[in-house]
Amino acid sequence: MRTHIQASLVEARNAVDQLLRNETALGTIEAAANLLMTAFDRGGRAFSCGNGGSMCDAMHFAEELTGRFRKNRPGMAAIAISDATHITCVANDYGYDQIFARYIESHGRSGDVLLAISTSGKSPSVLTAAQTAKDRGMHVIGLTGPKNSPLQALCDIQICTEAGEFADRVQELHIKVIHILIELIERRKFPSNYL
């Protein structure tokens, strides 16, 4: 059992090291943070969505912005599309692929940002949400695993965290990226928190 624990941790460390060496990925993380900061500066909002573990990441992203990340500061306008009544209503009436898009159609506006999370970059509900966001004049940041996924064509910025054979390593990098985005936003908007 200890061998499996160590192997898992080594694989996770290697995935982080691989991301750290990926200049393209680092640049997209920086660009995504700048896009989010600009939206907040202009009174825009950040929406986030994903399925399964990616929904958990979408919720974590939003709650760290509306609540507190490291130190006290004013809340920022972020919403995870995770309301069970909305999701089940839309899935029942329109189909599962519309669950996020219908929310964006109802609440999104030009200048807002959608963080669309899909480890494969192929999730129909996330793709439909990204298209709806683009149609409404919103910006789309895709957080995916592989490059050249269907989500890429709908994104202003796509952050790819290629790692390992399975989605768990990709998701581990996603939460690192999410924390980095929040930290960069805070450092710019609330620099006194980092003195």
> Residues forming the annotated binding site for substrate?
51-53, 64, 92-93, 118-120, 123, 171
Q: What whole-number distance in Å separates Cα of residue 46 and Cα of residue 114?
A: 6
CA dihedral 46, 127, 138, 152 (to 10 degrees): 100
Selection from 12, 10, 47, 11 nearest residue 175 by Cα: 12
3-state secondary structure of 109: coil
Annotated binding site: 51-53, 60, 64, 92-93, 118-120, 123, 171, 179
| Amino acid of residue 3 | T
Annotated binding site for Zn(2+): 60, 64, 171, 179
Q: Between β-strands 139-144 and 78-80, what pairing exists: parallel, antiparallel or unpaired?
A: unpaired
CA dihedral 92, 93, 95, 97 (to 10 degrees): -100
Contact (CB, 8 A) for 15 and 173: yes
Within 10 angstroms of residue 3's Cβ, the number of other Cβ atoms is 7
Helices 167-189, 23-41: inter-axial angle, 10-degree rounding: 50
